[in-house]
Amino acid sequence: MVNRASVRQQIMKPGKKKKLNIKKAIKKPGALRASLGIKKGKTIPKSVLNKAAKAPGKLGQRARFAKTLKKLRSKKRRS
């Protein structure tokens, strides 16, 4: 059995912040765009992305992940 206190200490350890490796998270680049029928180079409209995020299955997963990445991108630009 794992000691919860030791796990918590490892998680809350001060110091260097771990960076997210987004490249590994994106398994099939362009799959969302292809399933939505939007040509390469065009931006996905926000309304279409929001509607797709409510869909079940892989389409919904990809759309929700795209929204998350959009939030991360805007935070990176600000700093």
In a domain, 6, yes or no: no
- For the chain, how many structural domains are there in total? 1
In a domain, 63, yes or no: yes
Tokens linked to 62? 């990809």
Nearest CA to 45 among 15, 70, 12? 70
In a domain, 73, yes or no: yes
In a domain, 13, yes or no: no
In a domain, 51, yes or no: yes
Q: Can you tell me the distance from the alpha carbon of 52 to that of 46, in angstroms, rounded to the nearest whole number?
A: 10
Look at residue 19 and give its three-state secondary structure: coil
Is the pTM here over 0.75, yes or no? Answer: no
In terms of residue numbers, what domain contains 59? 21-78
Q: Can you tell me the distance from the alpha carbon of 35 to that of 30, in angstroms, rounded to the nearest whole number?
A: 9
Question: Average pLDDT, whole number, for the chain?
Answer: 82
**Percentage of residues of the chain with pLDDT beyond 70:** 68
- Of residues 6 and 73, the one with the higher pLDDT is 73
In a domain, 28, yes or no: yes
